[in-house]
């Protein structure tokens, strides 16, 4: 909550969203952050499929994956599913 948030007279009634959910950074909920060991990672991309928030992206230009920590909720599914155990969850 910040003073930049709108006052009650300025917002649409009934909770109608005036911003896309893309601007709502759910990543600030997390307690654990995924940390990847690039030596162990085979870039199989299973983690990108399993991530429930779509917060792991394949970056074609870099030829590598990237965690979008703005949306990662720290659930640890990626670490659990990683076949080479290249991802570990570290407390923030």
Partner 1 sequence: MKSAVKQEVHGLNGDEAVALAVKQADVDVVAAYPITPQTIIVEKFSEYVASGEVNTEYVCTESEHSAMAACLAASAVGARTFTATASAGMALMHEMLFVTSGCRAPVVMAVANRALSAPLNIHGDHSDSMAERDSGWIQMYAENAQEVYDSMLQAFRIAEHLDVQLPVMVGLDGFTLSHTLENVQVMLDDVVSRFVGTRQLPNVVTHEGKTVPYKLDPANPMTMGPVALQNYYFEFKRQQEEAMQNALRIIQQIHDEYAELTGRRYGDGLLEQYQLDDAEIAIVCAGSTAGTVKTVIDDLRAGGIKAGLLRIRTFRPFPAIQIAKSLEKAKAVAVMDKSISFGGNGGALFHETRHALYDAHTRPYMVNYVYGLGGRDVSPSQIRGIYEDLRKIMQTKHVDELVKYVGLRE
Binding site for partner 1 (CB under 8 A): 1, 5-8, 11-21
32-36 and 64-67 beta bridge pairing: unpaired
Q: Residue 72 in contact with residue 36, Cβ under 8 Å? A: no
Nearer to partner 1, 2 or 38 (CB): 2
Residue number, 6 or 62, with CB nearest to partner 1: 6
User: Closer to partner 1 at the Cβ: 8 or 38?
Assistant: 8
Least gap, CB of 37 to partner 1 (angstroms): 35
Least Cβ distance, residue 13 to partner 1 (angstroms) = 5
* Residue 50, H or E segment: helix 46-50
Q: How many CA atoms lie within 13 A of 22 on its CB side?
A: 1
């Amino acid at each position: 909550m910040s003073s930049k948030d709108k006052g009650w007279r300025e917002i649409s009634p009934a909770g109608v969203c005036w911003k896309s959910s893309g601007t709502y950074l759910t990543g600030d909920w997390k307690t654990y952050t995924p940390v990847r060991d690039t030596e162990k990672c085979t870039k199989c991309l299973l983690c990108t499929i399993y991530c429930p928030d779509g917060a792991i992206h394949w970056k074609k230009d870099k030829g590598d994956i990237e965690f979008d920590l703005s949306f990662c909720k720290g659930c640890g599914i990626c670490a659990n599913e990683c076949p080479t155990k290249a991802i570990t969850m570290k407390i923030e």
